[in-house]
Copies of this chain bind each other. A is one copy, B any other.
Amino acid sequence: MTDLTRFAINQITTKSWSMPEAIEGYRRHGVPGIACWRQYLDDYGAAQTARHLRDAQMWVASLCTSAWFDANDRAGIEKALDENRRILDDAATIGAPSVVMVVGGLPSNDRDLNGHRARVADALQELSEHALKTGVKLGIEPLHPMYCGFRSVISCIAQANDLCDRLGDAAGLVPDVYHCWWDPQFEAELRRAGPERILTFHLCDWLVPTRNLFDRGMVGDGVIDLPRIRGWLDDIGYKGVFELEIFSELDWWQRDPDETVRIAVERCAPLVGRLEK
């Protein structure tokens, strides 16, 4: 029996669909959850998105993503903090339990990686006050080390867990198999996090060969041992969301989103359903 109750699709997977198209498209295929992206939310409006989701009886996995903290001056960091406070407010409006924090790479003309990592940690600490106020968590997502230059200086799950330790109730972890599968510490750091800290869990696959930095695979098409990872999550008692997120310039983004969602459901259903006893 297909059990999709814990399943969401991250709407970047169906990049050419607007917010209402994604909501209707996922509902049509029996997918109850959606992770929203800001550009679609801004186009459609937070209040209208919230109404549409309520009418469709769908839930929100998260709001993607934060504004980048890729500045090394106070004015730049404050601008990003303001923007992120607004994003947290929007997340609250649509009922998103977290905003996925993609913190940005190095500031231009700055090669001090350790220094910038410390600056980002301080900025997240500052932002945590507003997160607690809105009840929306900062979802700390470690990004694959290949994005360290331009998308996020948080490059492995141990770093993300360290940040969560520091940020306390204001934050949680957003692990993604694409970003973490290679990490010898992946299983140990999921155990360290425990089930409550994991806010949503991202699925896709790692293709061989990988042709560029936006070339994620559909579940089952790559080399990640997804059933084993699901086993780790069951073992620690994770009861939360499984969310499919695919960036794919050369393949999935060029297909009809309806086909993508149909195949996504086929591939993910065995992985996201209830446990066989």
Contacts and interface: CB of A to CB of B under 8 A. Distances in A.
Contacts of A20: none
A220 to B, nearest CB: 11
Interface string A172-184: 0000000001111
Given A113-B225, A184-B117, A224-B111, A206 B155 contact: no
A150 interface: yes
A265 interface: no
Contacts of A210: 146, 149, 213
Interface string A218-235: 000011110010000000
Contact of A208 (B149, B182, B208): B149
A155 B206 CA distance: 15
A57 interface: no
Interface in A196-246: 206-213, 222-225, 228
Contacts of A158: 184
A248 B146 CA distance: 16
Contacts of A224: 111
A184 B156 contact: yes
A144 interface: yes
A112 interface: yes
Contact of A146 (B111, B112, B144, B150): B144
B106 A183 contact: no
Nearest to A109: B223
A33 to B, nearest CB: 26
Nearest to A107: B223
A186 B182 CA distance: 17
A105 B224 CA distance: 12
A208 B105 contact: yes
Given A145-B144, A225-B112, A183 B208 contact: no
Contacts of A207: 149
A223 B184 contact: no
9 contacts: A111-B224, A112-B225, A145-B182, A148-B206, A149-B208, A156-B183, A209-B213, A210-B213, A211-B212
Interface of A: 105-106, 111-113, 117, 144-146, 148-150, 155-156, 158-159, 181-184, 206-213, 222-225, 228
Given A113-B182, A148-B181, A159-B184, 10 more contacts: A105-B208, A117-B184, A144-B146, A146-B210, A149-B208, A155-B182, A155-B183, A155-B184, A211-B213, A212-B212
Chain A to chain B: the 3 pairs with minimum beta-carbon distance, closest first: A111-B225, A148-B182, A145-B182
